[in-house]
Copies of this chain bind each other. A is one copy, B any other.
Amino acid sequence: MAKLQKSIDKRNALVKATIELVNNNGFHATPMSKIAKMANVSPATIYLYFENKQDLVNQTYINVKAAYTKYAFETYKATMPVEAGFELIWNRIADFKLNECENAMFLAQCDNTPIIDEASRQEGIKHLQPLLDLWARGKKEGIVKPMSDYLLYAYAINPLSFLMMSQKRGAFTLDKTHLEEAYQSAWNSIKVCK
């Protein structure tokens, strides 16, 4: 165990350093030498864990995306009623974006730039399926608007990314009241109006 454990620790340290440096300086100003230094490792060691810089950032992206969706669906059961299920997932995603904002910022940066390979992007998108299934159910039951999933995501989930970025920039802070308002806006924009 000792050996494998050590390897995993080192890999994790490299991934963490990548996230932190890319968040603060951008991909263009994040040399391998700095990543190595922050992870307390020699530059050459990175290449024992990753093929090259592109592979490092691709794998970091997939790691973080997996953590994001794991967190989002951790307490969700597919048997829940649609509205309750959505509220649960929405709150988990809000928690993730606002508490683990290092991770969330990294995703926002990757999702709006060409720094990630298309293949890794596809890989990352897969894990969102439970939410799409929930929406399909909601549409069938006449609770959720019969819209494209892209529209639903754009209005129900994506605004949280914008709010997270604004908060991170210090422009404003999301308190509990804001969050309740945000949820109402999210639900309002996708529910069928009776």
Contacts and interface: CB of A to CB of B under 8 A. Distances in A.
A185 interface: yes
A26 interface: yes
Contacts of A25: 114
Interface string A151-181: 1011100111011011000011000001001
Given A28-B115, A189-B189, A172 B148 contact: yes
Which of the listed residues A23, A155, A172 has the most CB atoms from chain B within 10 Å of its own CB? A155
Contact of A111 (B147, B165, B178): B165
A129 interface: no
Contacts of A113: 26-27, 109, 112-113
Given A26-B114, A114-B25, A163-B150, A185 B178 contact: no
Contacts of A111: 112, 165
Contacts of A108: 112
A101 interface: no
Nearest 5 pairs of A and B residues by beta carbon:
A28-B28, A154-B159, A185-B189, A112-B112, A189-B189
